[in-house]
Structure 1
């Protein structure tokens, strides 16, 4: 028997599904409207005046006047906003800054405005509602839900509140979900990640958990602690847990491990949220990719990843993108980011409607020998090898070994196994064969004897957690880089004796 809340969720989900279909089926007009609204709203801002927004009518005009920038290049404007000036990047002042720890630029302050904040909340809500509309499953709304996130405690800077995005969003949980939501406010405010996860385990164990959400690597830590504490599979502890919501990294390398920890399969919804905007969410259980949010105050441009570092690479709008090409995603938003390089690379899996997968980071690649290997390729190669073996992988990263003691250079894979493959050499060969198949540059370098096939170095149990702890990035929204063009991560793993 459905509760009143679950019964009401279904017609609401249908209504939201229809309104999403409206813009998803009119993508080009929707994006054109967003573009015009953004330009006209910011014409009298400092940025708008500096870039002659008043004479921008088309995307072509915009490309001529507004160059692509990353955070470092936009920083002079952001610093004026942080200092309390008004009408700089967007009208008035932002209501928040999402503070993120940038890898290259120290702390980043990403503005969130009264226009952009609702789009973050709405997209997260719609992801769940579209799942209900598709599957008819609404029972979970009566159970408890958890999102493993950063602390909701916010600081103030010149009258503007700042904190982690997940902590800011915690202030916007709808009233009808407040009673269902976990952990408690006090537990959510614990800064030390290990202490926090232990407190979450204590709080959630007696509850009817139905939705669990967070970055896979940190949810895994939570699941492992539950298993340690109870000696049971997570699915036996939480009998009604049937929906896992995740974002931030590709779930596939974790799927087998999760199914083992849970003890059964559960449905999952993938999200693509960032401080700069909520870009996409999975709208169908059996379709590859996430629905690009074209109606959320974000105008998208795309640059082919292999042309990105050219002098004047072509900037495409959605009407010109093609399937299966690796693009750097550029956004202009109603939070005052303009032709902003988020750093993520995406690939379109569908153009009717527009769906994307996150293929990696433009800064996270290996091309020490001209091979241009990207995150999606290493993840797929590992996934294929895991599927064809008895191995289970906890975490991994890849780095180039340019000057080995003997023999040709190679890619070194640092893998923490939950369960080692019975034949590590065969496992390694399968990964290498998949990489060669996916990436013609890598294939040519192996064939031409410039590189030798990859080598695996095994990381000790919890080694990656120890590494993240050592660099002050354990928990929250922090993630291990899947691959690097240098050996910074590799050297720390080595120096801390985390390799077997």
Structure 2
């Protein structure tokens, strides 16, 4: 295994030169990619509709092709789901990444082409390993197995030929992995793709507790559930006693900031590393490439052409749209992608903030529909997570999950924000926790601070400190356990908060 580890480490590091090329020539790489995508899509139904054949410049593309949401593209995706081909992309679409989204209950079916699998998702996975072994050349990650905490898949019920499938993006990737990657991961396919999440956690825990696991990939929330069950089964005090050679957790989908402390408690090892990735149903976008920062390198040669909408233009019918060379650091942008799976100028709903433009590095700042702005305060997820992290630090608390929503103005009453927070370790002083959270929001968000002046429009937040398991039970009640399903952090309406409070009171 040591020889194999050395060989694979050497092989993976060879990709670094190509990564350095797009870091050095980002606009050339994106320009070439744009023209390639137009050429590939020109004979599709969508390409013919918008005249791709005579598009020579980006400005023509931007003038002809509108910015699209999922709802805008769904008529085309619906045809693909029913088995029609060459609608959005020329090669056969047999797989769809199913996502419930984070702002509504409607399922989304994102087409996944063979090019998207090979040149985007799998390439991203290999680059992730390449960057890791380049940063930690003494790694022994290849001496053991990788534990993948993924979702499930099923036959596409919309296609009468039954020749296509959909599932969580993690399940789509697991199902299509090459044999050598399958051999290097646990648990077995039949367990990894189970649909019943509670059954899956139990079987995963029992099947992997005795394996030689050196790395884990998954969403933090569900990975925590699995690790805690493994400790219950084994009777061990922490995960280092179960997997002494575990050295890296690759995470994504939700911010890791609120979970960092609890993972360090479960895995108290100085040799444990954490690597953030930005891998969504629509594509693989970013990888944390430095050991001294949590920001991610924007991956520019994965078959994805990027555009960005400034925060104050998000909801406009005809927004200003910027290309990579026009973005600035420190500002929030909605991400618009054109991909090698036929998503043309698709607004994915995520927002990012550039921390560097040479090379291009980003942090995920939230969702375009996942914020609180009932009083002009414009609180985004990044604000909420920073405030909660500070409040936890100052009161020795460890968070598990949270959601928040506005309390709207009523006659004789002022408005405010209402939070529901579940902890692994409750605050030493709940009143202090509320004060620190409120003070931090005021410090980092001037709009929130202005509305809080003398309780002008917003009163001090109301926080419900709820029992462990509350969010798990709520997600279970909604049929949203596991996979890509995530607790909605912020909402501009009270649907989620009211539903959770109703469940608690019942």
- Tell me the TM-score range normalised by the shorter chain: over 0.9
Alignment match of 1:487 (pick from 479, 494, 497): 494
Following superposition, the deviation at residue 143 of structure 1 comes to: 1.0
| Residue in 2 that maps onto 1:15 | 14
Aligned partners of 2:504, 2:421: CA distance in 1, in Å?
Answer: 14
- In the other structure, the counterpart of 2:258 is 253
Q: Deviations over 1:370-405 (max 9, x none)?
A: 111101110011112222221111111111111579
1:363 alignment partner, SS class: coil
1:236 partnered with 2:256: no
Q: Which residue of 1 aligns with 2:324?
A: 318
Contact 2:249 / 2:274 at 8 angstroms: preserved in 1? Answer: yes
Match of 1:356 in 2: 362
Local SS of the residue matching 2:364: strand
Deviates more, 1:97-106 or 1:9-18: 97-106
CA separation in 1, counterparts of 2:164 and 2:155? 10
CA distance in 2, matches of 1:155, 1:491: 34
TM-score, normalised to structure 2's length? Answer: 0.94
1:55 is the counterpart of 2:60: no
CA distance in 1, matches of 2:82, 2:30: 32
Partners of 2:375 and 2:88 in 1: how far apart?
40
Q: d(CA) in 2 for partners of 1:352 and 1:479?
A: 32
What secondary structure does 2:401 align onto?
strand
Aligned counterparts of 2:16 and 2:457: Cα–Cα separation in 1: 52
- Does residue 1:31 correspond to 2:37, yes or no? no
Provide, for residues 82-103 of structure 1, a one-character-per-residue CA deviation record: whole Å limited to 9, x for no partner. Answer: 2322321111431322222345
Structure 1 residues 18-27 or 86-95, which shifts more? 86-95
Q: Do the aligned partners of 1:7 and 1:138 also contact (CA within 8 Å) in 2?
A: no
Q: CA deviation at 1:153?
A: 4.8
Q: Give yes or no for contact 1:152–1:166 (8 Å, CA) kept in 2.
A: no
In structure 1, the residue matched to 2:461 is 454
Alpha-carbon spacing, 1:105–1:86, altered in 2? closer, same or farther (3 Å): farther
- Cα drift, residue 271 of structure 1: 1.0
SS at match of 1:496: helix
In structure 2, the CA distance between the partners of 1:403 and 1:450, relative to structure 1 (3 Å rule), is closer
Asked whether the equivalents of residues 152 and 188 of structure 1 are also in contact (C-alpha less than 8 Å), the reply is no
Query: Which of 188, 205, 216 is equivalent to 1:212?
Result: 216
Q: Does 1:127 align with 2:131?
A: no
- Residue of structure 2 in register with 1:144 after alignment: 145
User: Gaps (5+ residues) in structure 1?
Assistant: none
Counterparts in 2 of 1:391 and 1:11: CA distance versus 1, 3 Å:
same
2:283 paired with 1:287: no
CA distance in structure 2 between the partners assigned to 1:444 and 1:406 by the alignment: 21
C-alpha separation in 2, matches of 1:106 and 1:400: 23
Which runs of 4 or more aligned residues in structure 1 lie more than 6 Å from their structure 2 counterparts after TM superposition?
Answer: none
- Give SS of 1:115's match: helix
Q: Which residues in structure 2 correspond to 1:37-186 (within 5 Å)? A: 37-102=36-101, 104=104, 106-118=106-118, 119-155=120-156, 157=159, 158=161, 159-186=163-190
Which one is further off, 281-290 or 477-486? 281-290
CA contact (8 A) 2:33 2:305 kept: yes
Unaligned runs of 5+ residues in structure 2 are none
Q: Distance in 2 between matches of 1:51 and 1:114?
A: 24
Q: Distance in 2 between matches of 1:56 and 1:498?
A: 59
- For residues 242-391 of structure 1, the aligned pairs below 5 Å read 242-265=247-270, 266-391=272-397
Structure-2 change in CA distance of 1:313 and 1:269 (3 Å): same
Contact preservation (8 Å) 1:84, 1:93:
no
CA distance in 1, matches of 2:246, 2:293: 23
Q: Residues of 1 paired with 2:297 and 2:106: CA distance?
A: 32
Q: CA deviation at 1:104?
A: 4.3
Gap change, CA 1:129 and 1:226, over 3 Å in 2: same
* CA 309–152 in structure 1, closer or farther in 2 if over 3 Å, else same: closer
* Count of matched residue pairs: 498
- 1:116 alignment partner, SS class: helix
**8 Å contact kept, 1:223–1:234:** yes
